[in-house]
Amino acid sequence: MNNSHSTRFLFGWALIGLLIAGVVIAFSTLDFNVLRPIQKKIIRSHDSYADAVNKAAISVVSINAYHLVKEEKSLLPDNQNSNNNDQPKFKVRPNKGSGVIINSAGYIVTNNHVVGGAQRIEVVLHNGRRLEAQIIGLDPDTDLAVISTQLKQLPAVAIADSNKTRVGDIVLAIGNPFGIGQTVTQGIISATGRDRVGLNTYENFIQTDAAINKGNSGGALINTRGEILGINSAIYSQTGNYLGISFAIPINLVTDVVKQIINNGEVIRGWLGVEGVDLSQQMLERIGLPDIQGVLITDVFDRGPAEMSGLRVGDIITHINTHVIRDTRDVLNAIADGHPGDRIQINGIRERQSFSTQATLEQRPKE
């Protein structure tokens, strides 16, 4: 009787053991058959970006911009110099950079600091063909320029929406560093909306750790689908060498500037007609306001948009449309989003009370 009971007991445990083993085997089989293909897929999707590069690279050009620069005076004694020693001497200095074919009409966008002031511009296409180029227009405030060649049917780059970029996205920089030829580097987006860098009047950079060196300026920053996100513009460095911080101008801003240059020969920006200063903690304490952010208006131009809207000296601007105003650069960027004739909403503080008004932007006067 006891033996029978023991047998049933052992048999029960054996059955439980087999069931547990079956569950383990089933889970092992599930892990082996289901999870492994997913892992393969992830590895394969990040294995190469050649398709993206091939798609965009044909739209990236090398640029040789030749500038006339004044030679330094010779240190030789006067009797060893020519008779024209007092006359200034000039030499041609090549400035190497990159550019991107931005539309089907063959217009090429690059940086103002690459071609601005150049006596002659040469474009080298992806296939090695060399073409003379002319400046269509410059925008020093964003460090952008548009040039064109006589050849109009050129392969235009595919354009992404730079507003949808996210920190951590993989990006590729294509350009002509040091004039050695087209080169591709890889990185991620380190930050978006980067301003207060001190490079341009209007700043809204994409920051990346993709290597950008001398000669890359004006080249393309693309996503893994081969679409352009920005124009490579500058690096942050105290030595002139790449340190892992590079900046690109977002393509949404670029296309707006390019469109205006092609249509008008220049960029026409809105103007509010005020001058102001950043609020310091000392100012806030003196006027008895809480610790707020904004810009204190110090001058209002006669018959300008600000005066017509009722803005006064001493007002503090805290918001323009949806832009939070922290300093004078924020005011510049907010106004730059508009065009002459646009109505903007202004919120602020006057005599410790909140107020709001609307202004109609006018064309920014020539400096």
User: Which residues are known to be catalytic?
Assistant: 113, 143, 217
CB burial class (10 A; 0-12, 13-18, 19+) of residue 165?
Answer: buried
Q: Please state, in angstroms and rounded to a whole number, the distance separating the CA atoms of residues 155 and 367.
A: 37
Measured distance CA(277)–CA(367) in Å, rounded: 20
SS3 238: coil
Report the distance separating Cα 234 and Cα 95, nearest Å: 15
Contact (Cβ atoms closer than 8 angstroms) between residue 99 and residue 123: yes
How far apart CA 125 and CA 139 sit, in angstroms, is 24
Tell me the C-alpha distance between 142 and 340, whole Å.
18
The answer to whether the beta carbons of residues 313 and 302 sit under 8 Å apart is no
CB 273 within 8 A of CB 306: yes
Look up residue 129 and give its two tokens.
Answer: 């063909």
Backbone phi, psi, residue 4, to 5°: -65, -40
Distance between first and last Cα of the chain: 111
